[in-house]
Amino acid sequence: MFHKEGYKIILITFSIVIGLGLIANTFVENTLIRGGLLIILILFLVLILQFFRNPKRNFVSDETQILSPVDGKVVVIEEVFEKEYFNAKRLQVSVFMSPLNVHVTRYPVGGKVVFSKYHPGKFLVAWHPKSSEENERTTVVVKSPYFGDVLHRQIAGALAKRIVNYANEGQEVNQTDDSGFIKFGSRVDVFLPIDTKINVTLNQTVKGGITALGSK
């Protein structure tokens, strides 16, 4: 199963691979070179298919927990001063996604979207200290009945050139529903209430909509 954001790219990639494959098969006489080119084209197609995959999962909504919005590895757990929305201290948990991870972004909590904003910016590598403030990004805040305001921020990276955000201010959303998609990138920061109990550790692998980042 593939995410809707990948349909166009998958179709274009499939067409290019078929076209180049036919050209190689017709005009490249050396068997080893022709075979190598075909293998490269197939591997490229497989990578694109893997990137846009959207596996079915048995999500269990639990509003007493803040779930990871994405698949990846926890790279930051720290107390920070969040200045875009809260202007106050929050616990930040950041998850880095490699190109091989599922790149669907899901709502970490359910509730009402009270803030949603897109920021154009740079494409620094996702682990750069200033990427969360200078890179292209979107900021979404959901008011949870249990936790209050919870912010998650999609951040583009060196490869990520397109952030898709589905959140509209005023809409009611469910935990684990699709919040967006980052094409070929990269990192999501989650800002939790300062009294949240953190349930993950640095370098831990997490799954979007499954792993609990924090609880009370």
Residue given tokens 């497989």 in the structure block: 46
Catalytic, 186? Answer yes
Spatial neighbors of 13 by CB under 8 A, at least 6 apart, are 44, 45, 48
For residue 128, give Cα distances in angstroms to 50, 75, 103, 122: 26, 11, 20, 11
| Catalytic residue, candidates 116, 179, 186, 215 | 186
Q: Report the C-alpha gap between 173 and 26 in whole angstroms.
A: 53
Q: Report the C-alpha gap between 178 and 189 in whole angstroms.
A: 16
Q: Which residues are catalytic?
A: 186
